[in-house]
Amino acid sequence: MIIYLVVLGIAGQIHSILSTIVGIVFIFGLPLLVIKGYDGIDAVKETFEIVKENPVEAIIIYVIIAVLNVIGAIALLIGLLITAPLSQIFLAGATMDISGEMHQSSESYVTEAA
């Protein structure tokens, strides 16, 4: 029985680590689908490229979103009504910023205005 509990605990930790890695790798997938209009395969390829080029930023964004949603969950799940949309807005802005879309659009606006 004790061996079963130890194996189950180790398997749970491995699952937790692997799911966190997968979450970090695919964090930008949904915003790329919605904002840039990519299909699924292109969004996954772009997400891999973004995370490969900016791993530290991807981890920081993942942690900020996780902490924000945990704070909302601590508030008797009612806080998620506020923190879940905020985290998605933050993720959309971060995706645009880290993929370079925000910088390109602001530069083209300045060029067109001049």
Give the pLDDT confidence score for residue 112 in this predicted structure. Answer: 55
d(Cα 42, Cα 18) in Å, to the nearest integer?
A: 23
Q: What is the pLDDT of residues 12-71, one digit of tens each?
A: 999 999 999 999 999 999 999 988 888 889 999 999 999 999 999 999 999 999 999 998
Mean pLDDT of 94-98: 90
The Cα 57–Cα 76 span in angstroms is: 30
- C-alpha–C-alpha distance, residues 58 and 95, integer Å: 9
Whether pTM > 0.85 for this model: the answer is no
Nearest Cα residue to 28 out of 56, 64, 58: 58
Instruction: Of 61-65, 82-86, 105-109, give the lowest mean pLDDT range.
Output: 105-109
